[in-house]
């Protein structure tokens, strides 16, 4: 079984600053896929960034980057130059490599970006 833990229920940041959201996970699989999804208020969930566990290089997507520490089973999300539109619930999620694609989600972190 897989577990994903997000220990920060809420975070806030000033516009244009940088914020890091934490995520730890547990899985017995050697290969797996990690994701960060964003769910704005009353809007649909969208993919922010993804990482394959056997790739050492941290993924980046524009202002979003991850710090993947495989040994520590940690997968944090860094948002640079925060924008008001980044205000949302952020979910860390995992798919085991042997799975067809069932996502296991963390509890979520509510991020508020202040002007």
- Cβ of residue 54: shortest distance to another protein, in angstroms? 11
| 100/115 with CB nearer another protein | 100
| 82/109 with CB nearer another protein | 109
CB 27 within 8 A of CB 96: yes
User: Pairing state of beta strands 109-114 and 10-14?
Assistant: parallel
Q: Is residue 70 a contact residue for another protein (CB under 8 A)?
A: no
Q: How many CB atoms lie within 10 A of CB 102?
A: 9
Q: Is residue 45 a contact residue for another protein (CB under 8 A)?
A: yes
Beta-strand runs (E) in 2-97? 3-5, 10-14, 19-21, 24-26, 32-39, 46-52, 60-61, 64-69, 74-79, 88-96
Taking CB under 8 A as the criterion, the residue among 25, 35, 36, 68 binding another protein is 35
Phi-psi region of 100 (alpha: psi -120 to 50; beta: other; left: phi over 0): alpha
Taking CB under 8 A as the criterion, the residue among 70, 74, 78, 105 binding another protein is 105
Taking CB under 8 A as the criterion, the residue among 23, 79, 88, 93 binding another protein is 93
Q: Is residue 12 a contact residue for another protein (CB under 8 A)?
A: no
d(CA 80, CA 68): 17
Enumerate binding residues for another protein (CB under 8 A).
Answer: 4, 33, 35, 37, 43-47, 50, 52, 91, 93, 95, 97, 99-108
């Amino acid at each position: 079984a897989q577990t994903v833990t997000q220990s920060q229920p809420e975070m806030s940041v000033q516009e244009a600053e940088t914020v890091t959201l934490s995520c730890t996970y547990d899985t017995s699989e050697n290969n797996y896929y990690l994701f960060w999804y964003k769910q704005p208020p009353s809007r649909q969930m969208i993919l922010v960034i993804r990482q394959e566990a056997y790739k050492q290089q941290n993924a980046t997507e524009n202002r979003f980057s991850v710090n993947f520490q495989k040994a520590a089973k940690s997968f944090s999300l860094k948002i640079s130059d925060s924008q008001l539109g980044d205000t949302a619930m952020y979910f860390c999620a995992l798919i085991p490599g042997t799975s067809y694609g069932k996502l296991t989600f963390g509890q979520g972190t509510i991020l508020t970006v202040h002007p």
